[in-house]
Chain A
Amino acid sequence: EDQVTQSPEALRLQEGESSSLNCSYTVSGLRGLFWYRQDPGKGPEFLFTLYSAGEEKEKERLKATLTKKESFLHITAPKPEDSATYLCASSGGGATNKLIFGTGTLLAVQP
């Protein structure tokens, strides 16, 4: 069964303290790995799509990377405004275009 697992469940950082969030997936025939950011009371906001192992994408202080079994979201010198829940999702094999979401990592960045 296709599955996406995120770790840690929660992470507290000091402003400027870089770290990484992990997303492990077991999907046959991955057709995309997606990262979203969700702020309280809002819908998930699309960040990145990664399609193949070795691919990297960056946006401001965030960089997403992909291997054959996992994806990392690296946060460099985070600021308090980076505090949010980060969700990853995979698009699996077959003809379906639905996404399988992980349960998210709640990130808190303290000033």
Chain B
Amino acid sequence: DAGVIQSPRHEVTEMGQEVTLRCKLISGHNSLFWYRQTMMRGLELLIYFNNNVPIDDSGMPEDRFSAKMPNASFSTLKIQPSEPRDSAVYFCASGRIPTNEQFFGPGTRLTVL
């Protein structure tokens, strides 16, 4: 059974450019979580969806960040415009209500120059 799929695995871009990260959930899962991980701040929850509906976006740093779930199995996280301080590893995780267990993808390492 395929796990969570993220793309791209690595992204290097210049300040001011738009960045789109993609995530495919595990089949049958109905919750989707976006995290950011840095050495300084550890693993931070940005936003999560239940059944395609955004539930909590209080972790989204600012209006430059947006996330969508156009269908039940796919999500995007967009940063526009990107800044050097956005450099981090971004993970998505999928889960199944109500167990609260989350399964993480391999992550996207983002570097903004």
* Chain A residues engaging chain B, CB cutoff 8 angstroms: 31-32, 34, 36, 42-46, 49, 87, 91, 96-99, 101-104
Q: Give residues of chain B (89-103) contacting chain A, Cβ–Cβ below 8 Å.
A: 91, 93, 95, 97-103
- Are A97 and B98 neighbours in the complex by a CB distance under 8 Å? yes
Q: What are 12 A-to-B residue pairs whose CB atoms are below 8 Å? A: A32-B101, A44-B43, A44-B91, A46-B101, A46-B102, A96-B55, A97-B100, A98-B55, A99-B33, A99-B45, A99-B102, A104-B42
Shortest distance between the CB of B89 and any CB in chain A (Å) = 9
Cα–Cα, bound, A56→B50 (Å): 29
- Are A43 and B55 neighbours in the complex by a CB distance under 8 Å? no
- Are A87 and B43 neighbours in the complex by a CB distance under 8 Å? yes
* Chain A residue at minimum C-beta to C-beta distance from B59: A98
Shortest distance between the CB of A48 and any CB in chain B (Å) = 10
Known: A32-B101, A97-B100. 18 other contacts (CB 8 A): A31-B100, A32-B99, A36-B104, A42-B107, A43-B93, A43-B105, A44-B91, A44-B104, A45-B104, A49-B101, A96-B56, A97-B31, A97-B97, A98-B48, A99-B45, A99-B102, A101-B42, A103-B42
- Are A42 and B100 neighbours in the complex by a CB distance under 8 Å? no
- Are B50 and A97 neighbours in the complex by a CB distance under 8 Å? yes
List, in ascending order, chain B residues with CB within 8 A of A97's CB: 31, 48, 50, 95, 97-98, 100
List, in ascending order, chain A residues with CB within 8 A of B43's CB: 44, 87, 101
